[in-house]
Amino acid sequence: MLFKFLPKEVNFFDLFEKQAGYAVDAARYFKEVVSQGVIDESSLENMHEIEHQGDEIAHVIHAQLNKTFITPFDREDIHALAKELDDVTDMIYTILNRLKVYRIVKADKNLIEFASVIEESVNSVTCAVKGLKNTKNTKSVAEACIEINRLENVGDAMRDKMLGELFDKEKDPIAIIKWKEIYQDAETVLDICEDVAHIVSNILVKQA
Amino acid sequence: MLFKFLPKEVNFFDLFEKQAGYAVDAARYFKEVVSQGVIDESSLENMHEIEHQGDEIAHVIHAQLNKTFITPFDREDIHALAKELDDVTDMIYTILNRLKVYRIVKADKNLIEFASVIEESVNSVTCAVKGLKNTKNTKSVAEACIEINRLENVGDAMRDKMLGELFDKEKDPIAIIKWKEIYQDAETVLDICEDVAHIVSNILVKQA
Amino acid sequence: MLFKFLPKEVNFFDLFEKQAGYAVDAARYFKEVVSQGVIDESSLENMHEIEHQGDEIAHVIHAQLNKTFITPFDREDIHALAKELDDVTDMIYTILNRLKVYRIVKADKNLIEFASVIEESVNSVTCAVKGLKNTKNTKSVAEACIEINRLENVGDAMRDKMLGELFDKEKDPIAIIKWKEIYQDAETVLDICEDVAHIVSNILVKQA
């Protein structure tokens, strides 16, 4: 394995693992907040702190990439992986922020359902990213990627069902405007997780 | 021409032609469904089957790309072309799915009009992609790209006119929410076709 | 500096400076139009002319890039910079066009406020892009990038405040549909400026 000879101070694997950790923090905290049913200023501040830490680590990865000549896998894949992992955390923060801006102080059961699927998917993302460290993990990484893809399909069906019911039952157009966007945002988190899975799969294939 | 010496089993041109064929199938079927005016579960299933076949071929192209050392044109252009062609078919499927989710069982005359322009543009996309196979086709490929750009401008004007009339005449905000997004989606198909044309034009320039 | 030896006829720096100039024209004219409070056909035509000139120069840059072997910085960065600068001008045009399509003939005080911040950000973009010409400017380029990032944060807060107030006070769902999208578009201009700043920062780091 090429990356055995990388100098210790530029361990992209550790950085990615840390970055995935912030996505897990965000997903877990998001589920906690929407499950408790009360979205307030302090929960948004906590989430913002997680998002900010994720930003910092993404910045470190990009900066290291610019300074490093030999990388454990293709530069463009490192760049893309850091970007997409950052987007996962950002998108979860965006949903909580939108709830606040739209003056929604209580999540509905649909959003709680989405929060669980998002947490599952982000956990699989962490599995996939952690596994990149060692080619012995190829099988478990591939399985995590398959699971992420499966959860994206689950999310698509959930969003369609929720939107269909929203247009069936909700008569207040302003409520439709709000919840339509929030369900679509929730599904977008799963899309971004799928993008991570694509990048990871690609890295696996190139290493094979 | 470099690509004369490519081994037969990795013919990217054939794969792209097949992929463009699914976009044509999607565009043709979309026009048929909206023209007949009835959008039901079975039409969505048929479209989903086309979209799925398009996904498969995109997957084959990306997998072949990872295994192939010498490619007929830049790897990044192959990657981008496969992605955008896939997006054309996906977006057409998305519109039909959205009609179902929004409980719209009958297309309006605007959407039928858009379906025709989409079919024209996707036909030109196929022309452009097929022509890449042989540098003798440079002129016809360039003409197809110009036509795709022209149709994108036509689509922009159509969407603006339709949205303007929607805000002028429609008093039901929920209907505005639905149709606004559907006209915007329809125009997005033409934007993606234009992205294909850009990639193809780029490949032409590099080969010149 | 490598780029000292570039042939005169392919001066990417001059082309980027010209392209940034069109973004400044668009931002300045946008502020003028929304401040005067009357959005009519002729103002849209003037803006379209600016956007068209921006398109032309982007086309020239991409064409030159395909013909040029030695470039002053990474090809992918040149490509990305031309694309994002084009997107700035496009997005400003899109907002004015949307106002017309949504039959809004008078900007509100929020949009005027956004127009000022957009102008400030685009001015900093021009500073950053102009400064790339000479490594002596590293400090001023870095400062311009920091300012662009700061203005993006300002814009985020403005948009959230405006959307919150819109959902608080506006009872007409159709007005919400319109203004919600326009405020989001306005903030998107600042996002694109931030993308430019990222690309420019990246170029700086690689040159260091």
Q: Is the Cβ–Cβ distance between A56 and A171 less than 8 Å?
A: no
The structure tokens listed for B203 are: 């490949």
- Whether residue B197 lies inside any domain: the answer is yes
Q: What angle do CA B81, B87, B91 make, to 5 degrees?
A: 155
pLDDT for B68 equals 84
pLDDT tens profile C19-42: 999 999 999 999 999 999 788 899
- Whether residue B141 lies inside any domain: the answer is yes
Specify the amino acid at residue C167: F
For residue B25, the distance in angstroms to the closest alpha carbon of chain C comes to 32
Number of domains in chain A: 1
- Whether residue C119 lies inside any domain: the answer is yes
* Set of chain B residues whose Cβ sits within 8 Å of the Cβ of C97: 160
pLDDT for C9 equals 55
Specify the amino acid at residue A20: A
Stated as kind and residue range, the H or E segment containing A126 is helix A109-131
CA-CA-CA-CA torsion sign (C165, C167, C173, C176): positive
Ranges of residues in chain A whose predicted pLDDT is under 70: 1-10
Does A177 touch chain C if contact means CB atoms closer than 8 Å?
yes
Domain that holds residue C139: 9-207
Q: Which residue of B has its CA nearest to C68?
A: B206
* Set of chain B residues whose Cβ sits within 8 Å of the Cβ of C174: 167, 173, 176
Listing DSSP states for B21-88 in one string gives HHHHHHHHHHHHHHHHT---HHHHHHHHHHHHHHHHHHHHHHHHHHH-SS-SS-HHHHHHHHHHHHHH
Which candidate in A180, A188, A191, A199 is best for mutational testing of the B interface (most B CBs within 10 A)? A180
* Set of chain A residues whose Cβ sits within 8 Å of the Cβ of C206: 66
Q: Is the Cβ–Cβ distance between C126 and C18 less than 8 Å?
A: no
Q: Could you say which residues from 48 to 77 on chain C have a Cβ atom under 8 Å away from some Cβ of chain B?
A: 62-63, 66-67
- Whether residue A2 lies inside any domain: the answer is no
Does A79 touch chain B if contact means CB atoms closer than 8 Å?
no
CATH classification at residue A42: 1.20.58.220
pLDDT for B151 equals 98
* Set of chain C residues whose Cβ sits within 8 Å of the Cβ of A177: 173, 176-177, 180
Does C168 touch chain A if contact means CB atoms closer than 8 Å?
yes
Specify the amino acid at residue C133: K
Short-list A69, A54, A70, A50, CA closest to A15 = A54
Kindly report the average pLDDT of chain C as a whole number. Answer: 92
pLDDT tens profile B141-176: 999 999 999 999 999 999 999 999 999 999 999 999
Distance CA B65, CA B12 (A): 9
Q: What angle do CA A127, A128, A134 make, to 5 degrees?
A: 100
**How many residue pairs from chains A and B have C-beta atoms closer than 8 A?**
27
Residue C118 predicted with pLDDT over 90: yes
Least confident of B127-141, B178-192, C111-125: B127-141
pLDDT for C56 equals 96
Does B181 touch chain C if contact means CB atoms closer than 8 Å?
no
Kindly report the average pLDDT of chain B as a whole number. Answer: 92
For residue B144, the distance in angstroms to the closest alpha carbon of chain A comes to 31
Does A173 touch chain B if contact means CB atoms closer than 8 Å?
yes
For residue A66, the distance in angstroms to the closest alpha carbon of chain C comes to 6
Residue B61 predicted with pLDDT over 80: yes
- Whether residue C3 lies inside any domain: the answer is no
CA A123 to chain centre: 9
Nearest to A163 among B63, B101, B173 (CB): B101
CA C12 to chain centre: 18
- Whether residue B1 lies inside any domain: the answer is no
CA B73 to chain centre: 21
Which candidate in C62, C98, C174 is best for mutational testing of the B interface (most B CBs within 10 A)? C174
Predicted TM-score (pTM) of the model is 0.92
pLDDT tens profile C64-99: 888 888 888 888 899 999 999 999 999 999 999 999
Q: Span C38-59, mean pLDDT?
A: 94
Q: Which residue of B has its CA nearest to C171?
A: B173
Place of tokens 């709830």: A99
Distance CA A136, CA A131 (A): 8
- Whether residue A64 lies inside any domain: the answer is yes
Nearest to B103 among A167, A180, A205 (CB): A167
- Whether residue B100 lies inside any domain: the answer is yes
* Set of chain B residues whose Cβ sits within 8 Å of the Cβ of C100: 160, 164
pLDDT for B10 equals 67
